Amino acid sequence: MVSLPSKKLVYLETNVRVGAPSYPCLTLATLAGHLVGKHKVRVVDLDLVVDAWTELKRQVRYFKPEVMVVSAKTPVYPIAVELITRLKEAYPKITTIIGGVHATICQKEVLAEGCFDIVVVGEADFALETILKEKNLGKFKGKIFKDKKSPIKNLNDLPLPAWGLFDLEKYKNSRLSCRKNPAGLMETSRGCAYSCNFCCKDIFGTAYRMKSVKRVVDEMEYMLECGFKEIHIADDSFTQDIDRAKKICLEIIRRGLKFPWSLINGIRVNFTDREFFRLAKKAGCWQTGFGIESGDQKVLDGVGKGIKLAQIRKAVRQAEEEGIESFGFFILGLLGETEKSMEKTIKFAKSLPLSTAKFDLCIPYPGTGYYKLLKAQGRILSWDWLEYRLHQIKKPLFKHENLDWETIGKYYKKAFRQFYLRPAYIWRRLKRDLIKGDLWYDFGYLLRSRW
């Protein structure tokens, strides 16, 4: 299994490089969990090396795999094509399999590349197991494969991720997102009931499926035993069933587990309350993200976010008051956006007691409602998937109905500068750093950021 080199492409050449994430791949760890004990499995993380192709060749010569598996999101898909094309030229007998969101959405185009023997679509958890049971893999070559068990109804049926296949000590996150390294990603649920037009639901869907409270905390204990010092929840909507979320916190407390954890992927502001934040803090949660997106109510309504500005203010305030640092996610260039609405977003972000804020560009990824709209109207300007990155402001990707790409890029830079370089934030951050001992870390991040 190959984890593609995405960190440099997506983060290291942008102004958010100081917060570039460093995790072992949860997707491959979960898939491998089905296979260990039945097959010889190795995970090669090409994000940890300088020369991806040289490392891939070295691993192939040593391990001599019969099957190679990759999972690719849209921005790194071209890298998958390049590496697997070279692999097939050098080792044509290796069966190559690709899955992930891009392969699911653009399955026919991906299969037409010719370098991937099998394209797996949808949830692939049981697909690899089914494919590898077949002695004659030629039966599946040149085909698009979807397992009958997709989507999975009971997430408790999933095996524990095969974290033993990774050298965990090689993964280091910054203090902006992590208190103790190594930190590992974990999913406790799949699906989100909402349909924001900038989000793709073709893998996990809108039906909310959950692991039981016991299974979640058992898996947390397992991760700590594997060597993780911190756990980051990667769910789309951890608190959609807030009673379950509270029970998870209570079970962590009951078992006496002591470890920092974060809701790194964000939670919805309309699925929170003070009791949850209080319990989460007591259970070790130190940070939560919030999917805020915009400070303009009209824009939020237009993209189908389903939240109100008052709900945002209340949730962020309650989290901070209960001692949990808040991380705000914002998107610029959304459907219906104007210069005035982007100004509102920056002003709104500054008005919130957020510990940190992350501003992204609205990228119309294949499978999203926004992409379908733009494509139907002939407003997609680039089909270079390498450019489909949240922080890429140089090359226009689509024609916005109200804004040119240069203006969106200008407000993207302006948002970071105005949020982080204002005296009020610097003073508040300074007091926080003196308490937590992060002063020198933040000073270094300030110098290394591209303002």
What is the per-residue pLDDT across 217-243, written as a single tens digit (0 to 9) for each? 999 999 999 999 999 999 999 999 999
155-213: pLDDT as tens digits:
999 999 999 999 999 999 988 889 999 999 999 999 998 989 999 988 998 899 999 99
Identify the pLDDT of residue 148: 83
Residue 34 has pLDDT above 80, yes or no: yes
Q: What SS3 class is residue 228?
A: coil
Tokens 């039981």 locate to 212
Question: Mapping DSSP to helix (H, G, I), strand (E, B) and coil, where does residue 274 land?
Answer: helix
Q: Which pLDDT value is given to residue 447? A: 55
Among candidate residues 281, 276, 278, the one with its CA nearest the CA of residue 261: 281
Q: Strand 261-267 to strand 230-233: parallel, antiparallel, or no bridges (unpaired)?
A: parallel
One-letter amino acid at 434 equals L
- Going by C-alpha positions, the residue among 303, 294, 298 that lies closest to residue 269 is 294
Please, what is the Cα angle at 289 between 282 and 428, to 5 degrees?
80
3-state secondary structure of 282: helix
What integer pLDDT is reported at residue 136 of this predicted model? 85
Per-residue pLDDT band at 445 (split at 50, 70, 90): low
Q: Which amino acid is at 307?
A: I
In this prediction, residue 29 carries a pLDDT of 96
Residue of 129, 283, 279, 125 whose CA lies nearest to 204:
125
For residue 99, with 0-12 CB atoms within 10 Å meaning exposed, 13-18 middle and 19 or more buried, which class applies?
buried
Residue 344 to residue 439: CA distance in whole angstroms? 30
CA atoms within 13 A on the CB side of 401: 9
Radius of gyration from C-alpha coordinates of the chain: 22
Answer whether 415's CB lies under 8 Å from 331's CB.
no
The predicted pLDDT at position 6 comes to 80
Superfamily name with CATH number, domain 173-420: Aldolase class I (3.20.20.70)
Domain ranges of the chain: 2-145, 173-420
Q: Among 197, 283, 269, 260, which residue's Cα sits nearest to residue 238?
A: 269
Is the previous residue joined to 182 through a cis bond, with omega within 30 degrees of 0? yes
381-414 residue pLDDT tens? 999 999 998 887 888 999 999 999 999 999 999 9
What token pair was written down for 322? Answer: 């209960």
The torsion angles phi and psi of 103, rounded to 5 degrees, stand at -65, -35
The vertex-2 CA angle with 288 and 141, nearest 5°, equals 120
DSSP 79: H
What average pLDDT does the chain have?
A: 93
The mean pLDDT value for 53-82 works out to: 94
- Domain 2-145 superfamily per CATH: Cobalamin-binding domain (3.40.50.280)
Question: What does DSSP assign to residue 9?
Answer: I
Helix axes 423-436, 405-420, angle to 10 degrees: 50
The larger pLDDT score, comparing residue 399 to residue 151, is at 399
pLDDT for residue 369 is more than 60: yes
The stretch 305-319 carries a mean pLDDT of 97
pLDDT the model gives residue 13? 61
Single-letter code of the amino acid located at 419:
F
Q: Distance between the two ends of the chain, CA-based, in angstroms?
A: 37
The one-character DSSP state at 127 is H
* Residue carrying structure tokens 């940070």: 287
pLDDT digits (tens, 9 = 90+) for 267-285: 999 999 999 999 999 999 9
pLDDT score for 135: 80
| Beta-carbon contacts of residue 247 (< 8 Å; ≥ 6 apart) | 213
